[in-house]
Amino acid sequence: MATLTFSAAQSSSVSGFNHRARHSNLFFVRAPRFFNRLKRRNLSVKNIASDQRQELKDPSVNGEASLETLDSASIAASIQCHAEFTPLFSSEHFDLPKAFVATAESVRDSLIINWNATYKYYEKMNVKQAYYLSMEYLQGRALLNAIGNLELSGAYADALRKLGHELEDVAGKEPDAALGNGGLGRLASCFLDSLATLNYPAWGYGLRYKYGLFKQLITKDGQEEVAENWLEMGNPWEIVRNDVSYPVKFYGEVISKPDGRKEWIGGENITAVAYDVPIPGYKTKTTINLRLWSTKVAPNEFDLRAYNAGDHAKACAALKNAEKICYILYPGDESIEGKILRLKQQYTLCSASLQDIIAHFERRSGKPVNWENFPDKVAVQMNDTHPTLCIPELIRILIDLKGLSWKESWDITQRTVAYTNHTVLPEALEKWSLDLLQKLLPRHVEIIRMIDEELIHTIIAEYGTEDLNLLQHKLKQMRILDNVELPDSVLELLVKQEESSAVDSIKEVRVSDKETESTDEEQAEEQDTDAKDVVTFDPDPNLPKMVRMANLCVVGGSAVNGVAEIHSEIVKNEVFNEFYKLWPEKFQNKTNGVTPRRWIRFCNPDLSKIITKWTGTDDWVLNTEKLSTLAKFSDNEDLQSEWREAKKRNKIKVADFVKEKTGYIVNPDAMFDVQVKRIHEYKRQLLNIMGIVYRYKKMKEMSPEERKARYVPRVCIFGGKAFATYVQAKRIVKFITDVGTTVNHDADIGDLLKVVFVPDYNVSVAEVLIPGSELSQHISTAGMEASGTSNMKFAMNGCILIGTLDGANVEIRQEVGEDNFFLFGAEAHEIAGLRKERAEGKFIPDPRFEEVKAFVRNGVFGHYNYEELMGSLEGNEGYGRADYFLVGKDFPSYVECQEKVDEAYKDQKRWTKMSILNTAGSYKFSSDRTIHEYARDIWRIQPVRLP
């Protein structure tokens, strides 16, 4: 790769700006000393697919501090240079969008210095690296996070003020990167931040989605989806690597070569191109890389003849087929085309990333390459089942392209790859049609069949073939291929066992014939009994043949981890119990965490100052254990007063934000009650809004004086996206917005109750809402939420949780104290019994719940027909009915718990103490702690601090 070059510099003066103007004319720019310093460095970002080594002469590698000398004047001049010489906007005005891009490019210059130094040093030391593969990275805005990690916030604020802008206004022009949707993607981004901060050698890999998931609009009809436009003005953080690209193949056929090796030929060929995004650590030079893949085809795939003949669709078909792979996160998979597209996305991520990782390893290793060392230098973490195809793809590359044997390749893969499970929901444990996979990835299906065969022989070796009922059960639970015929090698083994058993049976019969004679009726009964005991391993022709991706992850990986203590126990005892019995050493827990930099230090500066003051240090940002110091001051009146003032300022920001986004005016003196997360039935936004409807109905039945005495004023805030094809979730969004429309315009209720749905919930919205929240709802059906991470963010910011004993709620409650958590609802071990009780018609609904349903059906909240939504909570069985998520069962407990919330909030001294103790007890839930555990127990990598 060519060495990066920077503009020459003449002077550091800043000229031609009216410092007080918001839109200043850029008359001329004198290139700064900053760029002179950069020019004197011979910097490079290496192409890991190339064997060429570039020299990197950066004094920061040798200990000279390269960024400490940056002052506001040189930063301002750097911003000017980018505004003039690397513009994405016209030159007439230096307005906010242009100021943002120029500022981001200025910051990126600093990141590149550390970025190059980091990987040059890793190359030199040849350290083991972790590679994190995820379909999502929900990063949020990068500017404030980057300059905060570089400790340049003050200098950039001063520099922009010199140029006529405020840093906060400039940062507000950055769109959220549309690379993720929910907790899975946010966790991945927190992990990258912690990896860099803790100096662990690591890369992230993902896809560069052009339109993200979707931008959510809230209209009178509920949720509407439009394409995200986050790349419309360019992305100043990314650097395209046109010389880092890899071929990715679909379809075609597999042929056997004369030497017995397999070759995958023909089919559809695309190219994955790398886009790199630097990820800086906090108070460290370490800057790691997030590599995102975009897809294209070679120019010769464009059919010029068809284009000139007027058949434009045919001419562009190959181009469009390649490009659409990276259009949308999670394209709808109701159609066969949608399923194919999702599989193409997953395979593109896996194939391009592994080719890149292997090229990296080969270059470091020199020649000859010792593949046995691959797991000693590489750890690949699959974030959920989306990257499962890493397993057969790594084996394919090792066998077909590198010439290793099956045994060598299978051993290397099992020692390299690890799997994080994020769900116990059956529909989220991915299964793919075998026929579809066979069509799209024929070579990989061959390899998956080999893995499945290897697994079956392992099961037989463990449990034998004497008890065929037991064997059938084990295979049904554990096989990767579901409803697929057994391999020939296994059938031969079973036939031999059957023949052996038959001989033994004949001998037994002969022995018994000498002693007794049986009647024809007795023989007939014995035959009937034998017929009932017949065990068959034949597939059911009425059911589809499927590939179970989660089973493949467990079999092919070195480790399987859940993401909270209760979740990991469910993984071991229920989801993968048969595998746990076979390989207990594989299973671990790694409770999730969130980065305290973004989620307290940068998004809540008022609270951060208070924490630093009362703990006596700002080391808590890196060592969150020091947050526990706050507990001993929780009754201190001065701390409580400062705490309440900080919360009030944050609530005013939330009120301003709500007015801007929804038009509703809310009272900052009311309790801010928030539930923001992906809209899903198991997360039970429906329980929350039904509780609000009950509250509203009771208010309406009271006199104004009774209402005021009974109820604490509340602002109930919702946010989150319903998947575009998830009809029931979209009904819930519609219901929430309809309730809000009615309640918020009811003059009798006034400020006692407001209901707000904030559209297009994302990281930037969370960074406003979470610091100003006072009660946060984490109310999923027990045993169904793997962990949750927003619960951790809320607790860190002094927000009190109401929730079930589910996911990380269990551990949060332990750490913050039972008295500082509002608990309700059935527990995980009760859920199966409660569903069985419902199916048997024994459930008796609470009268209050029936009252709410009747109230909704009366049309109080508009003309929309909510029969399908209310009907889902009724009946004893059937898809979409029988209240599978136990909203009705937990409703009375929830309502009564909310009454306790009101009582606690009336005592502000008590409430503030609870708030302080939530922050003090949240120290465990830093992603730094989680990453240390991954590094030690799964990846076996060590921190590498630059000299």
The catalytic site residues sit at: 422, 677-678, 683, 789, 793
Closest CA to 250 of 233, 264, 229, 235: 264
Query: For the packed helices 847-857 and 685-700, what is the interaxial angle rounded to 10 degrees?
Result: 80
Contact predicate 482/475, CB 8 Å: no
Output the 3-class SS for 754-776. EEEEECCCCHHHHHHHHHHCCEE
Token pair in block for residue 131 = 């590679």
User: Which amino acid, residue 228?
Assistant: E
Q: List phi, psi (to 5°) of 591.
A: -60, 130
Q: For residues 905 and 915, what is the distance between their CA atoms, to the nearest angstrom?
A: 11
Q: For residues 359 and 44, what is the distance between their CA atoms, to the nearest angstrom?
A: 18
Q: What order of strands is seen across the sheet that includes strand 753-758?
A: 753-758, 714-719, 671-676, 775-778, 800-803, 822-823
Q: CA-based angle 381:593:755, to the nearest 5?
A: 120
Measure the N-to-C terminal CA separation of the chain; round to a whole number of Å. Answer: 25
User: Which amino acid, residue 266?
Assistant: G
Scan for tokens 């070059």, then name that residue. 5
- The region that residue 701 occupies, defined by phi over 0 for left and psi between -120 and 50 for alpha, beta otherwise, is alpha
Q: For residues 693 and 855, what is the distance between their CA atoms, to the nearest angstrom?
A: 8
Query: For the packed helices 96-125 and 72-85, what is the interaxial angle rounded to 10 degrees?
Result: 100
Q: For residues 257 and 562, what is the distance between their CA atoms, to the nearest angstrom?
A: 43
Scan for tokens 């509340």, then name that residue. 714
Q: For residues 315 and 589, what is the distance between their CA atoms, to the nearest angstrom?
A: 51
Token pair in block for residue 570 = 């469910």
Token pair in block for residue 115 = 């970025």
Q: For residues 325 and 58, what is the distance between their CA atoms, to the nearest angstrom?
A: 39
Contact predicate 664/757, CB 8 Å: no
Q: List phi, psi (to 5°) of 587.
A: -95, 135
Q: Which residues pair with 595 in a beta bridge?
A: none
Q: For residues 34 and 76, what is the distance between their CA atoms, to the nearest angstrom?
A: 10
User: Which amino acid, residue 454?
Assistant: E
Q: Which residues pair with 132 in a beta bridge?
A: 204, 381
Closest CA to 282 of 689, 595, 495: 595
Between strands 775-778 and 671-676, the pairing is parallel
Contact predicate 119/66, CB 8 Å: no
Q: For residues 604 and 595, what is the distance between their CA atoms, to the nearest angstrom?
A: 13
Burial grade of 684 (CB within 10 A; 0-12, 13-18, 19 or more)? buried
Contact predicate 355/246, CB 8 Å: yes
How far CA 61 is from CA of 146, 285, 800, in Å, comes to 20, 9, 45
Q: For residues 618 and 638, what is the distance between their CA atoms, to the nearest angstrom?
A: 20
Between strands 800-803 and 129-133, the pairing is unpaired
Q: List phi, psi (to 5°) of 719.
A: -165, 150
Buried b / exposed e over 16-36, threshold 16 CB at 10 Å, is: ebeeeeeebebeebbbbbbbb
Q: For residues 686 and 823, what is the distance between their CA atoms, to the nearest angstrom?
A: 18
Contact predicate 135/145, CB 8 Å: no
